[in-house]
Structure 1
Amino acid sequence: MAKNSTPPTLVPDTAWLGRGHHLGAEPERDVRRNLIALKAAGVIDDFLDLDPVEAARSTDLYPRDESADPGPSARRLFEARWRVADGITVRAQLTTYEPESRRKEGEGVAWVLAAEAEQPWQAGWPSPATVFWPDSDQVPWDHEDGPDVRLRAANHLPKDDDEVRRLLRACARQSWFIHVVVHEAMTPDALGRQPVTAFLPPSLRHRVIEHRAAPEQALIADFAMKRELGVGIPRGGAVVLPTTPKDPGHDAERFTVRNVFLDGTEPTELLGKIKEFAALPRPLPADAEPVLTRLRQGWHLLTPDEELVHAKAMVTRYAKALEAMTASCDLYREAAESALAALAEANSGKPAPQVPAPAAARQDASPLKSVANAFSLFRGPKK
């Protein structure tokens, strides 16, 4: 009998996700400066710089969820809102984390970023990464979360066979990014050493990490990829690496390019393969789900219309709470009256003492205390 398997949760087509490490000394300062400059230039509508603890305590527009809290190691929480083609609103949230959360020394400050648009995401839209981080080589924000590779660089594979296999395994299993391996048929010149990912559209450029195999690493790279991922790489070609666990319908040949000329010209065929792979549905990584939940349920940067909706929701919430309190008070009063009536009947028909009306009672008196006082009237004299 076949077991019922739950289909994996897919990354929403409206979302953009990323994470990494900033190796500089003051990552939050880099974010603030970039956001201030983009708001002054009219690129973004607005932004917020929040303390994570205070942000978690504040009342949000949506019902809170425990997974929406950034956690005790969070340093800062940044939010930004901007509009893209046809006035589509994009909301994005970046969280930085304390260095103590590092797995090893030298990994820098970790960050996670989630952005979501009102419509399916387009690769030609501005990259959420460069809304928060400056797109400058002087700011080292683009280091991968696991292996020691960068987004905006052509990362050469290690020389050791075991290190190559370990790197490829980590990229396939732990990364949120798309990984591409390019084999250099011969040592390229300065133009050829530039990453081919620079030709990708803005929003896709910072979702792809490029690896380079040196001319003498053709067999090593091909063997390591076939053993770890079940795909090979042609000499002088390139391949888009599958994710792990690999989709049963994955066609390795479909995402393989036989020849890539590293002479500074645009590698049209390879770029087409990367775009095609990026358009496929992708499983939502388990550690990305709380990041997306935080964006949706822990949002603070409200528009005037959203603030009005928020205020109305709060009025409705308080009205319901007041109604529930009033109903509870009525129930207590009815219970007290019933108890007094029963006591009066048990006390040889003597009339029961009157319970003062709530308006005449002291403000700090409760219905339970009224019942207790009523019972005290029927106690015997103190000895």
Structure 2
Amino acid sequence: MRNWLVLLCPCVLGAALHLWLRLRSAPPARAPGAGAADSQAFFHQWKSSHYDVVVGVLSARSNRELRDAIRNTWLKHSLRHPALSQRVLVKFIIGARGCDVPVEDREDPYSCRLLNISNPVLNQEIEAFSLSEEGSSGLSEARVVSVSFRVLHPIVITSLGVFYEASDEGFQRNITVKLYQAEQEEALFTARFSPPSCGVQVNKLWYKPVEQFILPESFEGTVVWESQDLHGLVSGNLHRVTVHDGGGVLRVITAGEGALPHEFMEGVEGVAGGFIYTIQEGDALLRSLHSRPQRLADHIRSLHEEDALLTEESSVHGDIVFVDVVDTYRNVPAKLLNFYRWTVETTSFSLLLKTDDDCYIDLEAVFKRISQKNLDGPNVWWGK
């Protein structure tokens, strides 16, 4: 995960992946007295049989203005420079396919996953989880259990709850339930269950009310159940628990998806209770669902127009590499990997530099820094 964060760091002027494709001798040392401002001295160190630096510029399909700004500034300078023009190759990295889901109908604006809401359960309270007789396995050994979820349409959580042991007479446990927002250390709200204060029993859960406020669309949270006794919790794994998503307004996130940082998960992944919630802004949701078919049709037409414009742009400038991915922010790692593969398979080069289409690259300064850092060994990674 951390490697991807390095790859995605915006405006990495000096992020260079030193991929040596064949053995080469060390570059000659600089002549004594050569000035740092003499850029030509640095270019003479590099082979003329292949590109010294390949620059990959991450760009979204719709960012034509940013690409043209680069073409009219530092890229134009490199093409007209007597040394840079022969030693640098610049390519824009663009996904070959646009997302066929309008932004309004995606789970989040950074992915291409359809917001799959249908028949929302409006104007009533909904229990998020239930544990069937077959799914119940009694007390587990885990004393801390957690589950993460994403809100796809605004909801209000009214109560937090815990499962109880069917053989118990009344409530005989001490359990704390907390709801956290993703990557926040302080709980949004907490419910504490004990024999003298166990809340209200509904079906197979004990519930206690919590402070109510709206959890907005794209909210990501984690519910954590923690036993204050020496006993484990009554819990079930996610495959043995029924999730009531209200018609698609929330979705459970598993650790296997990699959607949340691993260190944010607490205890064992599973469910040891639940929560009660209501769906907000129901009228607006129904209107959006009603207008979705026309919105999808309009979006598909705009994608065809975008494809035609990109084809023309590529034909005119010849500086675009279309990689075989859907062009969304969450696919940036895949865009980079595909571009690296294209570069290795089609280009002879010494250094690979990745940047973004909102960055200005001073290529002469890059060559000077390469010389100063002596980046002439294999497997060099350079950046900040």
TM-score (norm 1): 0.20
**Structure with the larger RCO, 1 or 2 (CA within 8 Å, 6+ apart):** 2
